[in-house]
């Protein structure tokens, strides 16, 4: 899987990760929902391991396609992934 440095992500994605680390507030009702990994593009883990968050875009009226997926405890995730195309591809975020 490809990787990207946190500082190389789009600014809105960096802001989303900062919000996740603070525990919110989240702009969308579905932020923090369990991500099922049905595409099996991420490492296989038990259900509930992954959670998804919308990357807010000031130019979009809806949630758009960008998401941050976190793995591990929601309060202290240890895996971060970025998708710009609504789960078609993922990039692991490294710090």
Q: Give the CATH number for residue 65.
A: 3.10.450.30
Domain that holds residue 69: 3-83
- Of 39, 49, 79, 86, the catalytic one is 86
pLDDT given for residue 3 in this prediction: 98
Residue 93 inside a domain? The answer is: no
User: Does 86 qualify as catalytic in the annotation?
Assistant: yes
Helix or strand holding residue 18 (H, E): helix 11-22
Digit-by-digit pLDDT tens for the chain (95 residues) are 999 999 999 999 999 999 999 999 999 999 999 999 999 999 999 999 999 999 987 776 778 899 999 999 988 999 999 999 999 999 999 98
Residue 88 lies in a domain: no
The active-site residue, picked from 39, 52, 75, 79, is 52
Q: Report the C-alpha gap between 15 and 38 in whole angstroms.
A: 26
Identify whether the C-beta of residue 64 lies closer than 8 Å to the C-beta of residue 55: yes
**Is residue 77, in this structure, part of any structural domain at all?**
yes
pLDDT at 60: 66
In a domain, 30, yes or no: yes
pLDDT of residue 55: 96
The answer to whether residue 47 sits within a structural domain is yes
Which strands, in side-by-side order, build the sheet including 33-34?
3-5, 91-94, 79-83, 67-71, 50-54, 33-34
Instruction: Kindly report the pTM of this predicted structure.
Output: 0.93
Give the pLDDT score at 25.
94
What is the reported pLDDT for 16? Answer: 97
Please tell me the predicted confidence (pLDDT) of residue 56: 87
Q: Is residue 18 part of a domain?
A: yes
**Assigned domain for 95 exists:** no
Reply yes or no on whether 52 is catalytic.
yes
The CA distance from 28 to 91, in Å, is 22
Q: Per the structure, how many domains does the chain have?
A: 1
Find residue 92's DSSP bridge partners.
Answer: 3, 81
Which residues is 4 bridged to in the sheet? 93
């Amino acid at each position: 899987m490809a990787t990207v440095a946190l500082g190389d992500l789009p600014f809105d994605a960096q802001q989303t990760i900062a919000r996740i680390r603070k525990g919110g507030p989240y702009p969308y009702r579905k932020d923090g929902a369990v991500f099922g990994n049905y595409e099996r593009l991420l490492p296989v883990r038990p259900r509930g391991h992954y959670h998804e968050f919308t990357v807010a875009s000031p130019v979009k009226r809806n949630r758009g396609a960008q998401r941050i997926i976190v793995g591990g405890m929601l309060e202290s995730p240890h895996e971060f992934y970025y998708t710009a195309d609504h789960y078609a591809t993922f990039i692991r975020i490294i710090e």
